[in-house]
Amino acid sequence: MSLSPEARAERRSARFIALWTGFVVLAIYTPILCGFVASVNKGRYFRFPLAKTSMEWWQKTFDSIEIGMLVRTSLAMAGLVTVIAVVIAFFGALAYARYDWKGRRLYQKLVLLPIFFPQPVLGLALLLWFNALGMQMSWQTAVFAHLVWIVPVVTLVMAIQMYSFDAALEEAAFDLGASRLQVLREVTLPILWPGIWSGALFAFLLSWGNFPLSLYTTGPDTSVPEWLYAKMVAGYTPMVPALGSMATIAAAAVLLGMGLLARALRKRPAQ
């Protein structure tokens, strides 16, 4: 079977695109792998190829009380951000994609503004603002800072799914005798769960990995990315790549776990 020159060119470009995508994916994960390699180095100073490998820095990181506190701070922030962001963004997404109302077009654009804004500058601006209000910085103020950026992102994530929600379903339930609360419980929420879950996932992971907003707004508290940065700039120890790798693996585990859970729920019969 001979192909036309046209079809051959198409096949060539498809192959190029696949190769290029593979190469870029590889590049994206190269530094993450490098961090992993550095974390299993036995010595204090990194040289490649490694002379000896050991998990001792992982063990030290794991046992460190200081790092335990960092992780607790980061988890508390991410947890609180997730809960608040999901609630605000759920209604935000309803206003974005579900209801037709007078100010919707403008609202849709205003929501984007914090996303289209450099985070370090936003962090500094919040620092200034908290200061002007006479507030003490702590991880709670950082939670608020995270929300300013994460709520719009989660709103978009949820809105994309809400666009495909058929408004007639709610009306039908209402018409069939359901009260407003029953409509929400029996129809709206069950159908929108996937979007809410992915929104929660985004909120948690984006907060967990955020550095520029935390840097200026945590005050004396320190999150994992902040600590890593401080040690990178001054006082490298292999605990830096070790903790970095742990944070990455934790994020991957959360993502994977949620993905598998979602798949299991989807496969379940309608009963």
Partner 1 sequence: MNMQTKPVTDPSAAATRASILTLTNLVKTFGTYMAVDGIDLAVADGEFLTIVGPSGCGKTTLLRMLAGLELPTSGEIALRGQVINDLPPNRRPTCLVFQSLALFPHRSVGENIAFPMKMKGIAPEKRRARVEELMALMRLPAHYVDRNVMRCSGGERQRVALARAFAYDPEILFFDEPLSALDYKLRKELEKELKDIHKETGKTFIYITHSLEEAMVMSDRIAVMRSGRMLQVGTPEEIYTRPQSRFVAEFMGEVNVFPVRRAGDGMFDGTRIPGRFQVAGDPAAEGFIIVRPEAMRLVAPGETVENRIEARLYNSYSLGSRMQFRLNVGEDHLIVEQLRAGGPMPDLDREVSIGWDSRDAIFVEA
Partner 2 sequence: MNEIVASPTIAQARAAGPRFGERMLSAGARCAIPVYVLLALGFLAPLFAVVAYSFATPRGFDVFRTFTLENYRQILDPANTVWMSFAWSLGLALLTVAILTLVAYPIAYGLARLFGRSAGLVSVLFVFPLFVSENIRLYGWVLFFIKGGVLDGTLKAMGLPGAPEFLFTPAATLFGMVYVYLPFMLFPMVLGLSMVPRDLIDAARDMGAGRLQIWHEVELPLAMPGILIGMLLTFVLAVGAVAESKVLGGQSVIVITQDIEIAFTYAQNWPFGSALAVILTLIVGVLTVLGIGRLDLDRILGRRS
Residue 148 binds partner 2, judged by CB under 8 A: yes
CA dihedral of residues 116, 120, 121, 122 (deg, nearest 10): 70
Q: Which is nearer to partner 1, 4 or 271 (CB)?
A: 271
Q: Which is closer to partner 2, CB of 69 or CB of 112?
A: 112
Of 11-19, 115-123, 151-159, 180-188: span binding partner 1 (CB under 8 A) = 180-188
Let me know if 94 is exposed, middle or buried by CB neighbors in 10 A (0-12, 13-18, 19+): middle
Segment lying near partner 2 (by CB under 8 A), choices 63-71, 139-147, 187-195, 261-269: 139-147
Q: Decide: is 169 part of the binding site for partner 2 (CB under 8 A).
A: no
Say which entry of partner 1, partner 2, none residue 80 contacts (CB below 5 to 8 A, set by partner kind): none
The yes or no reply on residue 140 touching partner 2 (CB under 8 A) is no
Nearer to partner 2, 89 or 196 (CB): 89
Report what 169 binds from partner 1, partner 2, none; CB cut-off 5-8 Å by kind: partner 1
- Using CB under 8 A as the binding rule, whether residue 235 contacts partner 2 is answered as no
Binding mask 206-235 for partner 1 (x = CB under 8 A): ------------------------------
**Which range, of 31-39, 63-71, 109-117, 167-175, touches partner 1 by CB under 8 A?**
167-175
Residue type, 228: L
Q: According to the binding rule CB under 8 A, does residue 242 interact with partner 2? A: no
175 is a site residue for partner 1 (CB under 8 A) = yes
Quote the least distance from Cβ 14 to partner 2, whole Å.
6
Q: At what angle do helices 239-267 and 224-233 cross, to 10 degrees?
A: 150
Which among 24-32, 57-65, 185-193, 260-268 is the span making contact with partner 2, rule CB under 8 A? 24-32
- CA 190 to chain centroid: 23
> Could you tell me how many residues of this chain bind partner 2 (CB under 8 A)?
103
Q: Which helix (H) or strand (E) holds 249?
A: helix 239-267
Note the helical H segments in 94-238. 104-112, 119-132, 139-162, 167-175, 180-183, 189-209, 212-217, 224-233
Binding flag, residue 172, partner 1 (CB under 8 A): yes
The pair phi, psi for residue 62, each rounded to 5°, is: -60, -40
Contacts of 102 (CB under 8 A, 6+ apart): none
Dihedral of CA 104/109/112/114: which sign? Answer: negative
Q: Cβ 181 to partner 1, closest distance in Å?
A: 11
Q: Which of 31, 43, 68, 257 is in the footprint of partner 2 by CB under 8 A?
A: 31
d(CA 136, CA 266): 46
User: What three-state secondary structure class fits 99?
Assistant: coil
Taken as a whole, the chain contains a residue count of: 271
Cβ atoms < 10 Å from Cβ of 34? 13
How far is Cα 82 from Cα 244, in angstroms, rounded to an integer?
Answer: 22
Task: Return residues touching partner 1 (CB under 8 A).
Answer: 166, 168-169, 171-179, 182, 186-187, 190-191, 269-271
